Structure 1
Amino acid sequence: MQGFQKVVGHQEIITHLQNAISMNKVSHAYLFGGESGSGKKMMASLFAMTLQCEKHGVEPCMECPSCKKAQSQNHPDIIYVKHEKPNTISIDEIREQLINDVMIKPYSSPYKIYIIDEAQKLTLQAQNALLKTIEEPPAYAVVMLLADNPDALLPTISSRCVQLNLKPVGDQLVKDYLMNEMHVPDYQAEVDASLAQGNIGKAERIARSPEYEETLESALRMAKYADSMPLYEIVETIKKLTAEKDNIDDYFDIFSLWFRDVLLFKATKEVDSLVFKQELNGIRERANKSSYEGLEKIIEAIQKARARLNANVNFDLTMELMFLTMKEN
């Protein structure tokens, strides 16, 4: 499998891009939106490769010199904008790598393509500087912005781009991909696909990472015993999570899915639609103890905790509130 066939899901977007190529209606600016791991970079790279391909088809041929250079990221006319600081893309970086460069004609290709990954990190000055290029680009220029959160960009920028949002992929597609491409066994692929919530990049990471197994076990243990934990143990648990801050989103995902399973089982008594079928005993026990209202409060508390951490609220306090809600309900 090569070219766009490698992409799992996102068929509408692929069709849109291929139509733009075949009808010769390629825009000067594209904004690919979708959470981290959803495939934005892969999609933009394939589109760029196809636009520069010497066979001029709607798929990259993967054989011509242009495709070969693009595959090794050595194409002089496909420029990936880089940034020094992890959380910002500065005006100087945009000036140097794009604005001053875009006036130089392509070396050997029909287009000169700029791919700005993590575009949500562009400073306001950088966005304003970029605006002029997007408004009046040279005929050969194509700018692709990739953003986890497209709303972080100025409306003046996003309104001038063709906006393509990568939505979560169906669980079955993710499961098939894990089984066929990564040879993950059936049962494991089903759990991994549920945990990935439609995100192929995340599914790959879960399937590949031995650490994820540990996170999963640890998170399930916390969810299962939260109701019987004495306070000192909650404090210990929070200490443990402080050391795992980098994976905290994974913990939140697992907590949410486990309590969703409890709620589902309480309502239907069915096992088939559960993510954690192997946890049936713990799920049944919790479903008997908690009311519907209590379970909804817990799921809400997990979402709140995630939002609070994103807003930089104190970590220990946020976690304590969440665990107390799990304990009391």
Structure 2
Amino acid sequence: MTLQCEEHKKEPCLRCGSCKKAMSRNHPDIIYVSHEKPASIGIEDIREQLISDVQIKPYTGPYKVYIVDEAEKMTVQAQNALLKTIEEPPAYAVILLLVNNGGALLPTITSRCVTLNFKPVRDEVIKKYLMEELHVPDYQAEVSVAFAQGNVGKAKQIATAEDFSDMMEAAFRILKKGKDMEVYEMVDAIRSLSEQKHTVYEYLDLFLVWFRDVLMFKATHEMDGLVFRQEYHAIKARANSSSYEGLENIIKAIETAKARLQANVNFDLTMELLFLTIREN
């Protein structure tokens, strides 16, 4: 927004026509690269929205800014296609690759970029923003904050998603009924869910927060500190049946599963190992 601001200062004025268009996501020279598949950004997405478009000069501002959110989801083919554009971009082009895990990008991509590290935003700041600016109820804001892990954009997306409660219920169903399911059935269930609107990473994040609640309750025997307080009975039952070491193993296994999937390790194998760990502990 600052790059396109008509006042050309260090901060955007938020008043000029360019700033207003940027805030409403209507600026013709600020392009958000979108993708239909929730789990990946394909080569056609990058070619059509960035590589082909970047040759067209800016319509109104001095720059054309391309924002690729969750750029770690770019396939290897998409990243390779982007290499030449990143190496020799037009003078007016600014390409922002937003990632949660820089290690998921090819070294040939990262070596051609300037890396800027952003600190996670404090939970209380995000919660205040959700409640005061978006008028999100207290409990929903709290869940969104826990799930977003310092990412304001992710917290906003979760808080305003109409089907987030359905997503939570689907994830909890797998966790609570896992003891009555075969491992392959659990893998099939999570695969089916992740092929719909939400990605497998979002379900794994839900698993992570849920088991952290279990660990918290086991240590304190108090309900107040829980994110998923409505799951009190299930959380209490799991806390009683799992050891501290077991819960720590599960939390570590979820983090490992996320890392393996980002490194393109086989989906079925990764999820089987995770669900085996959850059942054994």
TM-score bucket of the superposed structures, by smaller chain: 0.7 to 0.9
- In structure 1, what residue type is equivalent to 2:3? A
Is 1:127 equivalent to 2:83 in the alignment? yes
Cα distance 1:250–1:113, how it changes in 2: closer, same or farther (>3 A)?
Answer: closer
Which residue of 1 is the match for residue 176 of structure 2? 224
- Where do residues 175-186 of structure 1 align in structure 2 (5 Å cutoff)? 175-186=127-138
Encode CA deviations 1:175-210: one digit per residue, 9 max, x unaligned. Answer: 112211222211222122112222222222222223
Over the aligned positions, Cα root-mean-square deviation in angstroms equals 3.4
Which fold has the larger relative contact order, with Cα–Cα distance below 8 Å and residues 6 or more apart in sequence?
Answer: 1
1:221 Cα deviation (Å)? 3.0
Cα distance 1:128–1:142, how it changes in 2: closer, same or farther (>3 A)?
Answer: closer
Encode CA deviations 1:51-101: one digit per residue, 9 max, x unaligned. Answer: xx1x344443444444456556455xx36386999423359964x544x55
In structure 1, the gaps of 5 or more residues are 1-45
1:281 Cα deviation (Å)? 2.7
Is 1:115 equivalent to 2:66 in the alignment? yes
Which residue of 2 is the match for residue 245 of structure 1? 194
Is 1:300 equivalent to 2:265 in the alignment? no
Deviates more, 1:206-215 or 1:307-316: 307-316
Which residue of 2 is the match for residue 326 of structure 1? 278
Cα distance 1:90–1:150, how it changes in 2: closer, same or farther (>3 A)?
Answer: farther
1:244 Cα deviation (Å)? 0.7
Q: Equivalent pairs: percent with the same residue?
A: 42
- In structure 2, what residue type is equivalent to 1:325? T
Q: Distance in 2 between matches of 1:108 and 1:210?
A: 35
Which residue of 1 is the match for residue 225 of structure 2? 273
Q: Distance in 2 between matches of 1:279 and 1:236?
A: 23
- Where do residues 48-63 of structure 1 align in structure 2 (5 Å cutoff)? 48-50=3-5, 53=6, 55-63=7-15
- In structure 1, what residue type is equivalent to 2:209? L
Q: Distance in 1 between matches of 2:223 and 2:68?
A: 41
Q: Distance in 2 between matches of 1:183 and 1:273?
A: 23
Q: Distance in 1 between matches of 2:140 and 2:224?
A: 15
Q: Does the Cα contact within 8 Å between 2:79 and 2:109 map onto a contact in 1?
A: no
Q: Distance in 2 between matches of 1:92 and 1:207?
A: 28
Cα distance 1:313–1:182, how it changes in 2: closer, same or farther (>3 A)?
Answer: same
Which residue of 2 is the match for residue 20 of structure 1? none
Q: Does the Cα contact within 8 Å between 1:301 and 1:325 map onto a contact in 2?
A: yes
Q: Distance in 2 between matches of 1:171 and 1:143?
A: 30
Q: Does the Cα contact within 8 Å between 1:91 and 1:126 map onto a contact in 2?
A: no
Encode CA deviations 1:134-167: one digit per residue, 9 max, x unaligned. Answer: 8xx5xxx462422325452535422xx3x33333
- Where do residues 1-329 of structure 1 align in structure 2 (5 Å cutoff)? 46-50=1-5, 53=6, 55-67=7-19, 70=22, 73-75=26-28, 78=29, 80=31, 86-88=41-43, 89-90=46-47, 94=51, 96-98=52-54, 111-117=62-68, 121=74, 123-124=79-80, 126-133=82-89, 137=91, 141=92, 143-148=94-99, 149-151=101-103, 152=105, 154-158=109-113, 161=114, 163-226=115-178, 228-231=179-182, 234-246=183-195, 247=198, 248-329=200-281
Q: Distance in 1 between matches of 2:140 and 2:48?
A: 45
Q: Distance in 2 between matches of 1:314 and 1:328?
A: 21
Q: Distance in 2 between matches of 1:257 and 1:276?
A: 8
- In structure 1, what residue type is equivalent to 2:31? Y
Q: Distance in 2 between matches of 1:307 and 1:154?
A: 19
Cα distance 1:307–1:97, how it changes in 2: closer, same or farther (>3 A)?
Answer: same
Q: Distance in 1 between matches of 2:201 and 2:172?
A: 14
Q: Distance in 1 between matches of 2:49 and 2:207?
A: 42
Larger radius of gyration: 1
1:259 Cα deviation (Å)? 1.2
Cα distance 1:321–1:229, how it changes in 2: closer, same or farther (>3 A)?
Answer: farther
Q: Does the Cα contact within 8 Å between 1:117 and 1:147 map onto a contact in 2?
A: yes
In structure 2, the gaps of 5 or more residues are none
Cα distance 1:91–1:239, how it changes in 2: closer, same or farther (>3 A)?
Answer: closer
